Structure 1
């Protein structure tokens, strides 16, 4: 298996884990006060949009040739970092 494919699989697993975290946030939001629920729902929707962008980057990675995949990898990495921080921020807001 190529390095590119191993990386794609690793990142897909990370996105899947993040989606599980988002599902947990949704469950917590459903039991929150109305104001908190509105706030969290808005933030969760933004995160889900970023997840979609990340999945699109992963798909792009799968379609790139071996020479070009390193440049696409950078986009996947930056998207992953942004998502990870966004989920942490929303989790922190829920605890407020």
Structure 2
């Protein structure tokens, strides 16, 4: 298996983990008061935009030729970090 494919699988696994965290936030929102639910839902919607960006980067990575994938890796890392921080921030705000 190529280094690119191993990296893509690793990032996909990380994304899946964060999706589980997002599902927990959604469950928390469903049981929250109306005010908290509204705020949490807005944050979740913002996070889901970042999830879509992450998925797009993974797709781009998968479609990139083997010799050029390192250049796409930076964008993938950047999208991953933004998503990870967004989930952590929202989780911390609504403990």
Query: Is 1:12 aligned to 2:12, yes or no?
Result: yes
In the other structure, the counterpart of 2:73 is 73
In the other structure, the counterpart of 2:84 is 84
Structure 1 residues not aligned, in runs of 5+: none
Aligned residues: 95
CA deviation profile, 1:2-48 (whole Å, cap 9, x unmatched): 00000000000100110000000000111111111000000000101
Question: TM-score when scaled to structure 2?
Answer: 0.97
In the other structure, the counterpart of 1:43 is 43
For the aligned residue pairs, the C-alpha RMSD in angstroms reads 0.6
